[in-house]
Amino acid sequence: MTEEAHNALQEENQLIAQRREKLEALKASGNAYPSDFRREHYAADLQAEYGDKTKEELAELQIPVCVAGRIMLNRGAFMVMQDMTGRIQLYVNRKALDKDTLGQLKKWDMGDWVGARGTLQKSGKGDLYVDMSEPRMLNKTLRPLPEKHKGLADQEAKYRQRYVDLIVNEKTRDAFQIRARMIEFIRAYFSERRFMEVETPMLQVIPGGATARPFITHHNAMDIDMYLRIAPELYLKRLVVGGLERVFEINRNFRNEGVSTRHNPEFTMLEFYQAFADYRDLMDLTEDMLRGMARSVLGSTTLSYQGEEYDLGQPFERLSMEDAVLKYNADLTLDELTDSARLRAAAQRKGVSVKAPWGDGKVLTELFEHTVEEQLQGPVFITRYPAEVSPLARRCDDDPSVTDRFEFFLGGREVANGFSELNDPLDQAERFKAQVAEKEAGDDEAMFYDEDFVTALEYGLPPTAGEGIGIDRLVMFFTDAPTIKDVILFPHMKPRSQI
């Protein structure tokens, strides 16, 4: 530990000791943790309703208010209190308050939870304040908040102690309020279109619906290994088989893979399925939903993200994977992409480590991911994914080697994946078998064979399209967050003891 860190720790310990003394004094004089106080007014509501009143008007009206929140600043006679909606000042009127009350106020520190009854007034500087007649200590905090100007500067500390981050950083609070409004918009959008919100199992005997490595756990009562779901897809399609023709789920998924600025092992997705629709319908829906969401949540269809602007108000570009590879690799030709040997040579030349078992579709996909994805600023839909890498998608009628599938890209990253669903049980069984062969060959992310899902398809899945949208990545764009950890309240972190 550096000398500076040691001194800071000593100072913090001294402050904690002082607060403990104040807490003991509060306990000696009564209940230090009361639960009988009821807030009646919020800071933002008072600011909105009375912010335009003059000092003289408020002095004449003598409006009684009852507020509660956390002390964020102490300016002597004035304290700044923060509640879930915003801030308002509290005034310590030494001429009106009795000696005992003033003595209690001396035990108030920054970070304490307090309540106050009084009248609403306005200062000479134009700030609203509550002239306190009945101040109450509601919770004496033992740890001091970070210094006002330094804030919670340590990025790792922001993630480990999100509760402190939320207290002191308005930008953090705003980001999660935007996230909440986005999810609220999604629910309303689908409800208006006759979709039914459902819940599917998070513990599964067979992990399916995506190609990813699962987390494994053990169910003691059943004495079986189970998996945290990597996607809800196969269960949602079972519901469509059962006659719930439009379903959606805002779900938590778990994938035992890498951690990065764009990946968290536990993440949130919107997944939805619509009978009697195809992938083109879902591209239209996605474009309409994202445009409406931006207008509703941000008041504009333009997203500003990390110095770049993305216009969701204009029609989204649509490109096949093959066309995208040609567009962003000027030195490649269509002949190279359609000839197996030349395709492999081109991929290797571009830095792709081609593996012997890969078919042409897998090679093309790897070439696309290696050379194109990060250049897709978008908004853009990439379509016609090879069947080899799309085990659950319907084959295209004009070319069975590719599927009726799309991925949506924004800012060089995938945000959504959708397709016309494969509803041929025989074809699905064969594709599962191919996935099993890949798993046996060493691919940890390949799918299991799900016999019950094939049985469900044998009862008849109507023509259906489905899609998954990564909520976390979408929130990153709406909040200008550089890393996914900034939009997840409690991102996964290694224990300090293991660092």
Q: Return the domain boundaries, the chain.
A: 3-145, 168-486
| Element holding 285 (H helix, E strand) | helix 279-298
CA atoms within 13 A on the CB side of 430: 8
Three-state DSSP class for residue 128 = strand
The per-residue pLDDT for 149 is 53
**Residue 364 pLDDT:** 96
Span 168-486 CATH architecture = 2-Layer Sandwich (3.30)
From the candidate CATH numbers 2.40.50.140, 1.10.287.70, 3.90.25.10, 3.40.50.460, the one assigned to the domain spanning 3-145: 2.40.50.140
257 labeled binding residue: no
Burial 152-187 (b: 16+ CB within 10 A, else e): beeeeebbbebebbbbbbeebbebbebbeebeebbe
Distances (CA, A) of 57 to 62, 63, 93, 133, 233: 9, 10, 20, 20, 60
Q: 3-class DSSP state for residue 113? A: strand
263: left (phi over 0), alpha (psi -120 to 50) or beta: beta
3-class DSSP assignment, residue 242:
coil
Query: Tokens for 457?
Result: 């398809």
Instruction: Give me the residues of the chain with pLDDT under 50, please.
Output: none
- Rounded to 5°, angle at Cα 193 from 188 and 199: 65
- Position 113 scores a pLDDT of 97
Condensed to tens digits (0 to 9), the pLDDT of residues 372-403 reads 999 999 899 999 999 999 988 999 999 999 99
What whole-number distance in Å separates Cα of residue 422 and Cα of residue 391?
8
Nearest to 183 by CA among 165, 166, 169, 197: 197
Any idea what the Cα angle at residue 484 is, between residues 69 and 306, rounded to 5°?
A: 95
- On whether 407 is known to bind a ligand per the annotation, the reply is yes
Rg over alpha carbons for the chain, rounded to the nearest Å, is 29
- Taking CB atoms within 8 Å and a gap of at least 24, the contacts of 479-484 are 479/174, 479/175, 479/178, 479/179, 480/304, 480/305, 480/306, 481/175, 482/261, 482/306, 483/261, 483/262, 484/260, 484/261, 484/262, 484/263, 484/264, 484/267
